[in-house]
Chain A
Amino acid sequence: GESVGLHLPTLSVQEGDNSIINCAYSNSASDYFIWYKQESGKGPQFIIDIRSNMDKRQGQRVTVLLNKTVKHLSLQIAATQPGDSAVYFCAENIQGAQKLVFGQGTRLTINP
């Protein structure tokens, strides 16, 4: 079936540097995308979302970029902190189905 995938399963970044986590999706009917952060033993935590009619959205220290032409989603985290260390998942909402399909996840490690 269709799925959302990630290019990099692990990513190590020096504290203070910026990080970029990428995601490829395959369902052209998806109309809403979300990035979640998951710490060990906890549920996913919402970070930022973007609708398909946008190509960029910014939050506090985070930016999501959407390229519908190549079906690519990215999460940029600026000035990373130790607390940013976690697994990050992208998810897409299948239009009309009202359910999320999660990508495989990327483990981000912030090195002091």
Chain B
Amino acid sequence: GAVVSQHPSWVICKSGTSVKIECRSLDFQATTMFWYRQFPKQSLMLMATSNEGSKATYEQGVEKDKFLINHASLTLSTLTVTSAHPEDSSFYICSALPAANSYEQYFGPGTRLTVT
């Protein structure tokens, strides 16, 4: 149980375009989902916290107008990278917090974004 999926697993887009990444909890409901970014050989950095039905809370330094987060249901959160640039190329990982568990986050497999 407690499986989180992401789609797509990898995507290549041209500079200036937008790309949407989906995060789904497959067998549980998640009141809270998190989005992380990981650059090569670095750690995971939290970008934002997404709560179902409300606006996401962004970490300091993360542009909310560039990284649009929508958490429309208890099983789906989306991250849209708008007007992508090469420096946005990274590994984006989501995690989900089951409603019945206040601590353990379940992580998705990640999405590799390459902006050319």
Contacts and interface: CB of A to CB of B under 8 A. Distances in A.
Answer whether A and B are interacting partners.
yes
Interface of A: 1, 32, 34, 36, 41-46, 49, 89, 93, 98-105
A100 B107 contact: no
Task: Please tell me the size bucket of the interface on B.
Answer: 20 to 34
Nearest to A4: B43
Contacts of A99: 34, 46, 49
Nearest to B44: A102
A82 to B, nearest CB: 21
Contacts of B107: 36, 43-46
Contact of B43 (A45, A46, A49, A104): A104
B77 interface: no
Contact of B104 (A42, A46, A105): A46
B112 interface: yes
Given A32-B103, A43-B109, A103 B46 contact: no
**Which of B4, B42, B60, B105 has the most C-beta atoms of chain A within 10 angstroms of its own C-beta?**
B105
A100 B43 contact: no
